[in-house]
Chains A and B, each alone.
Chain A
Amino acid sequence: MAKTVAMVGTDAVAEAMRQINPDVVPAYPITPQTAVVEKYAQMVADGIVDSEMINAESEHSAMSAAIGAAAGGARVMTATSSQGLALMWEMLYIASGMRLPVVMANVNRSLSAPINIHCDHSDSMGARDSGWIQLFSENAQETYDNVLQAIRIAEHPDVLTPVMVLLDGFIISHSIDRFDLIDDDVAKAFVGQYTPRNSLLDAANPSCWGAFDGLGGYFFEFKRAQAEGMLKAPAVIREVGKEYAEISGRRYDYFASYRMEDAEFVIVAAGSAAGTIRTAVDIFREKGLRVGLLKLRMFRPFPQQELVEALSHAKAVAVFDRSDTFAGDLGGPIFVETRSAFYEAEKRPQLMNFIYGLGGRDLPMSLVNQAIEMFKDAGSAEQKKRIVYLGLRD
């Protein structure tokens, strides 16, 4: 039987890792991810898991060791945050370019400067084009569920692409939340055994990894093949989600819709903000305003067509971004992609962008209400402003 626990979000990552019991876990501590590393180190120390841990001397080396271990045929997991992810940046491309199915939890935290340890999505958004699949989580339950599914997605032969599971720093990582664990044997059966297609440690078949492409070589073809993995990922993510629903009762897809059937005004958001927004949706519904929420789970690959379809009947769409692109008045990353997705659509709703919560700034209900009041008038003469920094001090 499934066990209900009350644990912090970092424990949700560690519990999923315990059930997966990866071969190698290289890691370096960074707030707010540290608790994952500590918890897992304790599990190793207690003999609960038999993973080999590498206490790397930096996140760059942690990801480098993850690459080496995965190329050696091991199932590899790690976790990071913020500056740590930024330090791994160079190696993120190499992990995905080598098609290594590494799974990493990233506890979302802002990037310096000024230094700030709290939540926003600028770290993972900075890595959005590094060739990793990115799955957002709303709470500890989704974090746990996403980590288990990530292994299956990453290792799928059609995909062979690393997966980053995202959880909001402190809001999810350090808050005690109630969630259900799948039975150990069910979880183990779900993730299964990992058999790599190639390995450095195949004595009979020595192999060369990370070869030099030379001049006028095959780099372009390699990258196209890599893009293919990302193109095939959505079908696999949907399939794995369905299979997961069978063992957990919890459904996962590219995004989750809330009161969307007849919604005229839709908020698109990712991560923990969805909970607050859902409550705001209920309140406005009671007032007679047809509001809905589209909670984005899969940011990479971006579910363009499905998103457009889901939003096609809306009059106005508000995209909530917990990071900025600093590209002039282009808006936040989710907004940019959502707007781009609508370019070829016949029916385009009014789109507004609300940038919120940078550096851990709270998103209280009052701000969500304020945003809904603003964007329900979007497109009117009075409401021309497209990008709003929500909750900024004067």
Chain B
Amino acid sequence: MTAVQHRSAQEIGRTERGPRPVPPLGGQRAAAELSHVDTVLPNGLRVLAVRKDTVPLVEVRLSIPFAGTGELHAATAEVLAETIVTGTARRDRVAIDTEMALIGGELSTVVDPERLAISASALASGLPTLFDVLADLLTEASYVDAEVARESARLIERLAIARTQPRTIAREALQRRRYGNHPVTREVPEAEDVAKVVPEAVRALHANAVLPRNSTLVIVGDVDPDAVVAELERALGDWASDKSANVLPDLPELTGGEVLLVPRPGAVQSQLRLSAQALRRTDPRYAHLQLANLAYGGYFSSRLVENIREDKGYTYSAHSGFEFTGNTATLLVDADTATDVTAAALLETRYELARLGLVPPTADEVESVRQYAIGSLGISISSQTGLAGQLSALAQAGLGFEWLAGHPERLAAVTAEEVAEAALDFFAPHRFTGVVVGDADTIGRGLEAVGGVAIGAA
């Protein structure tokens, strides 16, 4: 290339002194204790406030259970999420944006079949404004006709884009495969349903479903937890109802089944998605299963990644992880692979599932995943955003700061035998169901040969 003279690859890889030993780890001090408050306001909202003053910011995560069974619920909820910031009795959308911007603030909403989530951040000095805007949205959002019409039109355009994303196509197919017609499957509404949503329906949904009881609010940042709870109680005093926010009905228990081939003609890549029932965070064996999952495909140094990426080059990314929905937890394995190696990738993915139980993680593997689980948790909660996100997920599951603080100890106590038991119980290939989305003409024959694959419409 550009060097006139250069060493060969072999010469580059060798020094006179030769290979060197990897240094041992040094001493690790524990993270500082953070002062926090975990309480329920008179209106039924659970509030978790934590002082973490590394930077002069605050992070707020409000999560409202938002399930619904009506035919247009998913579409109406999506329009509500897009429109809630477009105006109140006191502020129009530009005023909301301006007030938030002047305190360095951002505000976003997202809805799924389980929850409506409002996330906000701002300079800590702007907290009174942030609370005032938040309260205004929760109690006075107006959903004026023109804004609902415009946001619905934008949403329909965005849905068109989402439905051409391979990951969205695969996700929808997996949800149907796992849960049939349960409301949890309606993650992305139909465009024609969105077109039917009228402003009155959005206003009615807000009145009936944007409710404090059953909801959780996490606030992390440069704040005094006690003072912030008092401020929040004042700011959200008018947000009240006798009713409780709508919790998603329990999901059916997952049982294994054939993987469904979902055709996507001409695709240059296939999406593999496999899933099985898992354990909730409150289960005594959760930490065991967490470590077994990491060893399988939960981090880069896992068996699955080392096999289908680093050894065989079938994929850029392969991963397995937990999904928590309501009172249930599942394992989800995903990989996007080249079309011509799709069947081979499925074979290897299943092989590693079986092998995890039959040739369980060695002591070294267990130590590696244990340190990774403890270390990466510590890293993720070392930032305000990371801590707020972790606590919000825990709060929704009825857990709190103590669970987080105690989790490294639980991980430290897991034995290799316990990981092996969890692997054998939860990673058996027959427990999994799933989908493969791809070019059926090219991958169908190989998948049939591998077996355990149903060929048909999604």
> Do A and B bind?
no
